[in-house]
Amino acid sequence: MDSTNFTQDELDGSLQSGENQAIKKNDQEELFHIFTYSENQYREIKIKEADEIDDLRDSQSITWINVDGICQENILTKIGSKFGIHHLVLEDILDTTQRPKVEDYENYLYIVVKMIYSQNQSDEIISEQVSLILGDKFVISFQEEKKGDVFEEIRNRIRLGRGRLRKAGADYLVYALLDAIVDNYFLMVEQIGDQLEELEDELVDHPSSKILPRIHFLKRNMIFFRTSIWPMREVIGSLERREFPFIEKSTVVYLRDIYDHITQLIDTIETDRELISSMIDIYLSSINNRLNEVMKVLTMIATIFMPLSFIAGIYGMNFRFMPELYWKWGYAITLFTMGGIALIMLFFFKKKKWL
Amino acid sequence: MDSTNFTQDELDGSLQSGENQAIKKNDQEELFHIFTYSENQYREIKIKEADEIDDLRDSQSITWINVDGICQENILTKIGSKFGIHHLVLEDILDTTQRPKVEDYENYLYIVVKMIYSQNQSDEIISEQVSLILGDKFVISFQEEKKGDVFEEIRNRIRLGRGRLRKAGADYLVYALLDAIVDNYFLMVEQIGDQLEELEDELVDHPSSKILPRIHFLKRNMIFFRTSIWPMREVIGSLERREFPFIEKSTVVYLRDIYDHITQLIDTIETDRELISSMIDIYLSSINNRLNEVMKVLTMIATIFMPLSFIAGIYGMNFRFMPELYWKWGYAITLFTMGGIALIMLFFFKKKKWL
Amino acid sequence: MDSTNFTQDELDGSLQSGENQAIKKNDQEELFHIFTYSENQYREIKIKEADEIDDLRDSQSITWINVDGICQENILTKIGSKFGIHHLVLEDILDTTQRPKVEDYENYLYIVVKMIYSQNQSDEIISEQVSLILGDKFVISFQEEKKGDVFEEIRNRIRLGRGRLRKAGADYLVYALLDAIVDNYFLMVEQIGDQLEELEDELVDHPSSKILPRIHFLKRNMIFFRTSIWPMREVIGSLERREFPFIEKSTVVYLRDIYDHITQLIDTIETDRELISSMIDIYLSSINNRLNEVMKVLTMIATIFMPLSFIAGIYGMNFRFMPELYWKWGYAITLFTMGGIALIMLFFFKKKKWL
Amino acid sequence: MDSTNFTQDELDGSLQSGENQAIKKNDQEELFHIFTYSENQYREIKIKEADEIDDLRDSQSITWINVDGICQENILTKIGSKFGIHHLVLEDILDTTQRPKVEDYENYLYIVVKMIYSQNQSDEIISEQVSLILGDKFVISFQEEKKGDVFEEIRNRIRLGRGRLRKAGADYLVYALLDAIVDNYFLMVEQIGDQLEELEDELVDHPSSKILPRIHFLKRNMIFFRTSIWPMREVIGSLERREFPFIEKSTVVYLRDIYDHITQLIDTIETDRELISSMIDIYLSSINNRLNEVMKVLTMIATIFMPLSFIAGIYGMNFRFMPELYWKWGYAITLFTMGGIALIMLFFFKKKKWL
Amino acid sequence: MDSTNFTQDELDGSLQSGENQAIKKNDQEELFHIFTYSENQYREIKIKEADEIDDLRDSQSITWINVDGICQENILTKIGSKFGIHHLVLEDILDTTQRPKVEDYENYLYIVVKMIYSQNQSDEIISEQVSLILGDKFVISFQEEKKGDVFEEIRNRIRLGRGRLRKAGADYLVYALLDAIVDNYFLMVEQIGDQLEELEDELVDHPSSKILPRIHFLKRNMIFFRTSIWPMREVIGSLERREFPFIEKSTVVYLRDIYDHITQLIDTIETDRELISSMIDIYLSSINNRLNEVMKVLTMIATIFMPLSFIAGIYGMNFRFMPELYWKWGYAITLFTMGGIALIMLFFFKKKKWL
C-alpha cells in the first residue's frame, strides 16, 4: 500500500510531482484508486486488495473508491459485504448490459450510466458501463474496463482543491462524475453532427452509392447514443427531484444543469435523425435522377441513329428496281436527309429540355 | 402417487439419485408436478389425479403445482373448485390467446404471461402461454403444452435448497418463474440481433433479392415478441408497485430487477426495428443502384455501336455514285473513323464517371 | 300482442317448441322483441306498438326491449317519453354515424357501440349501430336494421336459464350484449388476419400487380374496424371503473374481461398494420426487382448482338478495296470471331451474376 | 334605426313577411344585427352605429349582437369600451389568424373559432374567423367578412321560438352558434371523403399522373381543416368541463354533444389521412408497374429483332466465299430459321409471363 | 458616461432629436445600454464599464440593462457579483448553445430564449441567444452579438411613454421583450411559408432536380426553428402559470397571449412539415413520371424502327435466289409494307395511350 498524504498547504505548489510519484510507484494490478478528502487535505492511494480499504476511511473525510475492470467477482463480493451492498446490485454491476437507472437502497443510492469516449484522439468510440454507489460520505465508482476514463479532470480538481468539490459532500462528487460523462457525450454527438454536415455537402455536390452506408453508420451510432442518453434523462431527473435522501438541496441546481444538457443532447439527436431521413430522401431521388439522365442519353442516341440506320438499310437492299440508286445525287440527297432528321431530333430534345 | 420426501440433511449429498428416482417411477399421463417445500425440507411428486393434491398441502410448506397441457377442461374445473378460482379465470387459462395481464382476486392473484423458448438448440421457437395462480402459500402454474419449459433450473434450486428460494415465500417463487421466462426472452432477442447483424453485413457486401423476405421474417418475429413483451412490462410494473396484497415487500426489489430487464428488452427491440427500417432503405437503394448500373452498360453499348453501325450501314448502301467506295484508303479511313468515335465515346463515359 | 309465459319448471324440457310458437305467431312488423325475466321465469313477446310495453313490466323482473330498425322517429319518441329519455339521446340513436360512447344520465346509462358481423357465412360485412339504454331493471337495445344480430345466443341463455344471466341484474345483460358484439369482432379480425397471411404467401411466391389493391382493401377494412374498436375501449374502460351508478360491483370483473379482449383486438390490428406496411415494402421491391430483371434481359441481348451486327455491317460495306472479303477463310474467321465475342459477353454476364 | 318588435303570439303566423320587412329596410352599411329575445317575445334590429346598442338592452332579455366585417378598428374599440372588453381581446378579434381558443375574463368569456362553409353550392370554401363574447345575458359574435354565415337557421329559431333557444340562457345561444359551425364542418369533411372515394376508384381503374396533385390538394385541405378542428376540441372540452362560470349546468349535455361530433370529425380526418397515404402508395406502384410494362414491350421487340437483324446482317456481308449464299434453298432456310427464333423468343416470354 | 435625462413633459415633442443625440455621442465600445424609467420619466444611458451601473439605479424606477456581445467573461463576472447571480447562470449566459429555459433563483428569474431575425431586409437569418435576468425592479438582457436586435420598438415605447410599459413593472418589460422576439418568429415562419408555396407551384408546373435541395433547405430551417420554438412554449407556459414569484398577476393575461402565439407558430410549422413531406412525394413521383415518358419515347422509336430495319436487312442479304428482288414492284411493295407496319405500331401506341 502506497499513499500520498498532503495537507492543502503543501500541495498547492507541487501537484505535478506528487502525481508523478503516485503513478510511478503503482503497478498494473492496482485496481482500487482511492481518494479521501476534506476541505483542507486529501489522500490518494492505489491498492491491490479490497481489505486495505477499511483503514483509509474516517468520519471526517469523503472517500471516493474507483474500481477498474470489474471482471473479478470475488473482489466485488468483498466490497459488497464491506459496504453492505445488496447482491442484486452486485449482479447488476457485473452485468455490463444494464440500462442507465437509479435505485434507492436504504444505505446507499445505486446509479448506472454509460460512459462514452474516444481515447487518444482516435476514431474508435469506447462505451463503458459506470456504476456509482453513493453512500454516507463515500462514493464507489465501478468501471467496466481498465482502459481509461473521463474523470482525470475531477481527480485534478480534488488534488488542487479547485472549485467547490473539496468543500461539498459526496453527492457533489457524484454530480461531478455524471457531469464529466455527459460533457463527453457532447463531444461525441458534435462529432456525428460534423460528419453529417460533411455528408450533406457531399450528397449535394457528388452523390455516390457509397454515401448511404455511411449515413446508415451514423444513424446506427445515433440510435446507440440515444439508447444511452434517453434513460439518463430519467436518472438525472429523479435525482434532481430529490426523490432520494442522499442528494442535498444545494446539489439540485447542479443536477438541473446536467438535466438541461441531456435535454439539449436529445434535441440535437432528434434533429440529426430528421436531417438523416431527409438526406436519405435526397439520396434516393439523386439515384433516380441519375437513372433518368442515363436513360435520356440512351434514348437520344437510339432516337437519332435508329431512323438513320433504317434509311441506310433501305438503300442497302438489293432490289433490282430501285430508281434512287441510279440517280446522280441520290447519295448526297440521302446524306442530307439523314442530317436533316438528326437536326430535327436534336431540336425536339432541346424543346423537351433533355439537352 | 409416488413421492420423494427428504429432509434437507439427507438431500444435500444425494440429489442426483433422488431426481432419477422420481423421474423413473412416473409415466406420461402424470400432468401434475407438485413441489412442497420449506426451508429445511422439500417433497416432489408427480400425480395423475387432481384429487390427490389435498393430502399434500400443509400449513407450513409452500406448494407449487405445475399443470402441463391444460387441454382437459374437467381437470381444470376440479382444481378451480378446490382452490376457489373464479370461472372467468378458468376460461382465461383455457383460452391460450390471452394477452399478458395480472388480475387481483380476493384469495389469489392471477398472472398470464407468454413463455418463449427453443428446445434442444433447434431453431424452432415455441411460444406457450403460462398462467400463474399465486395464493396463500401456494402457486399453481398452468402450461399450454407438455413439451417442456424453462423452469428446470428453478426445480433444481428447490431440490438443492440453493439461493433464497426455499427460505422465501410463494411470491418469491412467482418472481423466480417470471425471471426464468424473461431471461429466455433475452436469448431469443439476442438471436434476432445476431441474425440482423449478419443480414446487415450481407446487405453491404452482396445484396440480393433474397434478403428482403428474410428481413421481413425477422421483423415479423420482432413484432410478435413485442406483442408478448410490452404487456409484460405492465404486469411486472403493477406487481412491483405492490398493488396486490400477495406480494411481500422484500420481493419488490427482485421484481424491479425483472422490470429493468423488460425495459431493456423493449429498448433493444425498438432499436432493432429502427435498424431494420434503415436496412430496408439500403436494400431498396441497392436495387436502384443495380438498375442504374445495368442501364449504364446498356447505354454505353448502344451509344458506341449505334453510330458505328450507322456508318457501316451508309457504306453498305448500293448507290451507284458513292465516290468514297472507290477510294483506295476508303475502307481504312472508315475503320479509323469508327475507332475514333468509339474512343471519344469512352472518353465521354469516363468523364461522366460511368466507367 | 302475443306472449309466451312460462315458469322455469315448465320450460326446461320444451324450449324448442316454445320458441317456434313465438316465432310463428309474429308477423313482419313486430319491431319490439321483449323479454321479461327473473331467476325463476321468463316471458318473451313480440309486439307492434310501443304502447303495449307498459303492461309488461313489473318491479320483480328485468325487462329487455329490443327495437329493430330504428327508422321511425315517432316510435322512438314514444319510447323516449315512456322511459324519460333525453331528446339528445333520441337524436343520437337515430343518427347512425355515432362514435362509440357512453353517457351518464340521471335515470339511465346510454351506450352506443358498433355491431360488426357477416350473415349466413357470406363475405359481406354488416356494420350496425347498436344503442343500449340501461336503466333500473330494464335494458333497451336499438338496432339500426332489421337484418339480424349477434344476440341469438343470449336469447337462448334467457330462455334456458343457462349461466348467470337470469340470476344477475340488468347490467349483466348489458355486459352479455357487449360481450357478444366484441366476440364477433374477433371473428372479423381473424378473417382479415387469414387473408393477410394468404396474401403474404402469394407475395413471396408470385407477386403480381393485383396484390396491392387487395392489400389496400384489407388496410381499409382494418382502419374501419379500428375506428369502431378504439373508442369501445374507452367505453368499456369507463364502465369497468364504475364511473356510473348502474354498474354493480359483481359485474366489474366481467367488464374487465371484455376490456382485455378489446385490448387484444387492438394489439392484433396494430400488428396487422405493421405487417401490411412491411408487405407493401416487399411488394414495391418486387416490382423493382422485376424491372431489374427485364432490363438485364434487354441489356444482355443488346450487348451481345450490337457488336455482332456491327461486324456484319462492316463486311456488308461496298468498298472496292476490302482485302478480307477476298480471303478464302474470311467468312469463317468472321463467324468464329463473332462466336468468340458472344462467349466473352456471356462470361462477363456470368461474372456480374446477371445469369 | 329600424326595429321589428313582436310578441310571440303575433309572430307565429307571420314570420315570412316579418323577415322580408327587416331585410328590405336595411342597407349595406348596417354592420350590427341585433336580436333581443326572451321566452315570449323577440326584437330584431339592424343598425349602423355602435352607439345605438345601449337603448336596446334590458335586464329581462338576452341580447345577441352580430357584427359583420370586423375591419374597422374604431367600431371595435367602441363596443369594447361599452362592454368592458380587454384590449388584448379586441386585438385578437382583429387578428384573423387566431387559433381557436377560449379565454376566461372576469365579466365575459371569449371564444374564437373558425367557421368553414361554402356559399351557394359553389366549390369555393370560405374560412372565416368568428369571435364570440359571452357575457351576462348577452352574446356578441364578430364575423371576419360580410359574405354570409351559417347562422340563418338559428335566427329563424329565435324568430319562430322553435326549440329550447328562446327559453334558455345566453350560453345556450353560444352552444347553438358553435353547433351550427361544427355541423358545417361535417358537410366539408364529407365532401372531401366523397372526392377521396372518387379518386380511389379512378386510381384503380385508370391511374394517371394527374391524380397525385389532386390527392395533394385534398390532403392540403384536410391538413387545413384539422388545424381548425383540433383546437376546437380543446375549446369545447374546457367549456363542457364547466371551467368557466358563464356555462350553466343544463348546457353541459349539449356541449358534450358537440364534443362528440368534433371527436368524430377528427376520427374521420385521421382515417382519411391514412387512406390518402395508402392511395399514394398505390399510385407510386402503378407508375412503376407502367414503367415495367413499357420496358417489357421494349425488351420483347429488341430481343426478337436484334438476333433476326443480326442474321440478315450476316448474309448481307460481301465475302466472296459464303457457300450458303449459293444454295438454292438458302434464302428459304434463313427465313424459316428467323421465324423459328421469333417463335422461341415468344415462347420464352410466355413462360416468363410477360405476355 | 453620457446620459439623457428627461421628464415626460419635455420629451413628448423631442424624441427624435434626443435619440440622435444619444447615438452620436456613444462610440463602439459601449456595451451597456441602460434605461431607468418610471411612469413619469425615463433616463437612457450607454456606458462602457459595469462599475458605472450602480449610480444609475434608484428604488423608484425600473432599470433595464441591455448588454451586447457577451464575449468578455470578466465583464459578466462583474455584473454577476453586483446583482448576486449564481455562477452556473453566468456560465449558461456565456454558453450560447443553450436550450430555451426558465430557472427560478431566490433573487431573480433567469430566462434563455433564441432571438431570430433578419437584418436590413437581407435573406440572412441571424439567430442570437438572449438571456434575461428578471429581478426586483430590474431586467438585464444579454445579447450574443452586437449586430442588432428586435427591441428598438420597445425602446421607443419607453422613450415615448406609449402603452402600458412605463406604468407596469419589470415583469411587463420581460413580457414585452419576449413578445418582440416571438413576433419576429412569425415573420420568419411566414417567409418560409411563402417560399414553400412558391416551390409548390414550381413543383406542379415544371419540376426539376433543383427543387429537392431547396425543399431540404426549408425543412432544415424549419427543424431549426422548431428546436427554438418548442422549448419556448414550455418557458412561457411556466411563466404564465405563475410558478415564479416575479410574475405579477396582471401580466399573466399578456403571457397567455404569447403562449397562444407560440402554439400557433408550432401549428404552422407542423402543417408546413406535412406539406413538405407531401411535396417530396409529388417530386419523387414526377421524377418517375419523367422516366416513364423518356422510356416511352425510346420504346416507340425502337418498336417502329427495329422491325423496319429488319425487313431492310432481309432484302440486303446477298442470296443468289431471292425471287422478290427481281420483281418489278418488289421495292415499292416493301416500302408500303414498311409504312403499314409503322402505322400499325402508331395505332397500337395510341391505344395504349402512350401518345
Angle at D6 between CA D5 and CA D11, to 5 degrees: 140
The one-letter code for the residue type at B202 is E
| Residue D99 in contact with partner chain E when CB distance is under 8 A | yes
Domains and CATH numbers, chain A: 2-283 (3.30.460.20), 293-351 (1.20.58.340)
What's the mean per-residue pLDDT of chain C? 83
Cα end-to-end span (Å), chain A:
82
Is residue D5 scored above 60 in pLDDT?
Answer: no
Residue range A134-163, pLDDT digits in tens: 988 899 999 887 777 889 889 999 998 877
Is pLDDT at C3 greater than 50 in this prediction?
Answer: no
Please give the full DSSP string across D243-262, using - where no structure is assigned: -STTS-HHHHHHHHHHHHHH
Nearest CA in chain C to D257: C88
Q: Residues 274-333, chain D: which have Cβ within 8 Å of E? A: 280, 283-284, 287-288, 290-291, 294-295, 297-298, 301-302, 305-306, 308-309, 312-313, 315-318, 322, 324-326, 328-331
Judge whether B160 and B145 are in contact, CB under 8 Å: no
A203 — pLDDT class (breaks 50, 70, 90) = confident
CA distances from A272 to A214, A237, A265, A267 (A): 14, 24, 10, 9
Report how far residue B132's alpha carbon sits from residue B147's, in angstroms, rounded to the nearest whole number.
Answer: 18
The pLDDT assigned to B16 comes to 41
> Which of A34-38, A318-322, A343-347, C23-27 is predicted with the least confidence, judged by mean pLDDT?
C23-27
How would residue E113 be classed by pLDDT, with cut points 50, 70 and 90? very high
Interchain proximity E284–A282, CB inside 8 Å: no
Say if CB B31 and CB B108 are below 8 A apart.
no
* Subunits with 3+ C-beta pairs closer than 8 A to D: C, E
Helix (H, G, I), strand (E, B) or coil at A293: helix
Cross-chain residue pair B328–C317, CB shorter than 8 Å: no
CA–CA gap between residue E209 and residue A252 (Å, rounded): 53
Quote the DSSP letter at residue B119: S
pLDDT tens across B244-302, in order? 788 888 888 899 889 989 998 998 898 888 888 888 888 888 888 888 888 888 999 99
The more confidently predicted of residues D176 and B243 is D176
Query: What is the DSSP secondary structure assignment for residue D167, as one 8-state letter?
Result: T
Compare CB distances from B301 to C291, C302, C322 and report the shortest one's residue: C302
Rounded distance between C-alpha atoms, residue B183 and residue B175, angstroms: 12
Cβ neighbours of C92 in D, within 8 Å: 257
pLDDT over threshold 80, residue A242: no
**pLDDT for the residue numbered E1:** 42
CA atoms of E170 and E168, how far apart (whole Å): 7
Task: Specify the pLDDT at position A71.
Answer: 64
Sign of the dihedral defined by the CA atoms of residues B305, B307, B311, B314, in that order = positive
Question: Which pLDDT belongs to residue B122?
Answer: 64
Question: What is the predicted pLDDT for the residue at A24?
Answer: 41
* Residues whose CB is less than 8 angstroms from the CB of residue E355 and which lie 6 or more positions away in sequence, other chains included: E300, E346, E349
Interchain contact D344–C (C-beta under 8 A): no
In Å, how far is D318's CA from the nearest CA of chain C? 5
Higher pLDDT among residues B207 and A236, named by residue? A236
Residue type, C10: E
- E strand map for E208-347: none
What distance in Å separates the CA atoms of residue D119 and residue D127, rounded to the nearest whole number? Answer: 11
Q: State the Cα–Cα distance between residues B92 and A218, nearest whole angstrom.
A: 47
Judged against a pLDDT cut of 90, whether residue A341 lies above it is answered with yes
Terminal Cα distance for chain E, rounded: 81
Element (H, E) at D33: strand D32-37
Q: Which of C301, C313, C316 sits opposite D302 (nearest CB)?
A: C301
Extract the C-alpha cell encoding E201: 407551384
Give the count of beta carbons closer than 10 Å to the beta carbon of residue A18: 16
Using CA atoms in the order D249, D255, D260, D264, what is the torsion angle rounded to 10 degrees?
-170
**186-245 in chain D: CB under 8 A from chain E:** 209, 212-213, 216, 219-220, 223-224, 227, 231
Q: What is the pLDDT of residue E22?
A: 41
Average pLDDT over residues C79-107: 86
Query: What are the pLDDT digits (tens) for D301-321?
Result: 999 999 999 999 999 988 888
**C278 to B316: CB separation less than 8 angstroms, yes or no:** no
CA distance B316 to chain A (A): 5
pLDDT band at C27 (very low <50, low <70, confident <90, very high): very low
The average confidence (pLDDT) of chain E is: 83
C-alpha cell belonging to residue C147: 337484418
Decide if pLDDT at C195 tops 50. yes
Residue C337: which pLDDT band, with cuts at 50, 70 and 90? very high
| Each residue's pLDDT tens digit, E265-288 | 998 898 888 888 888 888 888 888
Query: Given this model, what pLDDT does residue E346 score?
Result: 92
Task: Using CA coordinates, name the residue in chain E closest to A269.
Answer: E227
The confidence score (pLDDT) of residue A16 equals 41
The most confident of the ranges A209-213, E30-34, E334-338 is E334-338
Question: Measured between CB atoms, which of B99, B288, B294 is closest to C264?
Answer: B99
Cell numbers standing for residue C171: 347490467
How high is the pLDDT of residue B109?
A: 92
With a pLDDT cut of 90, the percent of chain E lying above it is 21
Q: How many angstroms separate the CA atoms of E189 and E192, rounded?
A: 5
pLDDT band at residue E86 using 50, 70 and 90 as cut-offs: confident
Asked if E344 and E352 touch (Cβ cutoff 8 Å), the reply is: no
CB contact under 8 A, C312 and D317: yes
Cβ contacts of B284 on chain A, cutoff 8 Å:
284
Tens digit of each residue's pLDDT (9 = 90 or more) over A160-181: 887 788 888 899 999 999 999 9
Q: What is the pLDDT of residues C49-73, one digit of tens each?
A: 777 777 777 778 899 999 887 666 7
Residues of chain B with pLDDT under 70: 1-30, 70-72, 120-123
Q: Could you report the per-residue pLDDT of A82-136, keeping only the tens digit for each?
A: 888 888 888 888 888 888 999 888 889 999 999 988 876 666 788 889 999 998 8
Chains that touch A (3 or more CB pairs under 8 A): B, E
CB contact under 8 A, D99 and E260: yes
Residues forming a β-bridge with D4: D44
- Take residue D309 and report the three cell numbers written for it: 437483324
Q: What is the mean pLDDT of chain A?
A: 83
Please give the pLDDT value at position D121. Answer: 63
For residue C228, list chain D residues with Cβ-Cβ distance below 8 A. Answer: none
Cα–Cα distance measured from residue C197 to residue C204, given in angstroms and rounded to the nearest whole number: 11
